[in-house]
Amino acid sequence: MIQNTMFSTGSLGLQTTQPTPKAATTPSDSIRQFGSYLEDALQSVASQEQNANIMTDKLMLGQVNVDQAMISAQQALLSVQLTTQVRNKVVEAYQEIMRTQI
């Protein structure tokens, strides 16, 4: 089964059943945490694309099977499509906020 781990919540501690008490965070801390989360997600997409390119090269040399190369290419494609859709939703939300009358 193919699993996209681009937006995995395991590292954020969201899979626990008991709520854990959090220390008070400032808005700047939250922005930094979100920025690092976003950077990690984009780095994951880039590494999947690099892996797909490497697998394609290995396919041409006969070192891997077609199915392995296609799986890595599809994983990279799905990650890019997901990233694009998330970006579109963020831009759409920003535009909606800018249209809001005060």
In a domain, 16, yes or no: no
In a domain, 90, yes or no: yes
In a domain, 39, yes or no: yes
Rounded to whole angstroms, the Cα distance separating 23 from 44 reads 28
Rounded mean pLDDT, 73-93: 96
* Res 14 pLDDT > 50: no
**Stated pTM of the model:** 0.67
Q: How many domains does the chain have?
A: 1
What is the number of alpha carbons within 13 Å of residue 20 lying toward its C-beta?
7
In a domain, 70, yes or no: yes
* Res 2 pLDDT > 90: no
**Rounded CA Rg of the chain:** 19
Rounded mean pLDDT, 24-41: 87
For residue 58, the enclosing domain spans 28-99
In a domain, 77, yes or no: yes
More confident site: 46 or 101: 46
In a domain, 52, yes or no: yes
- pLDDT tens, 46-80? 999 999 999 999 999 999 999 999 999 999 999 99
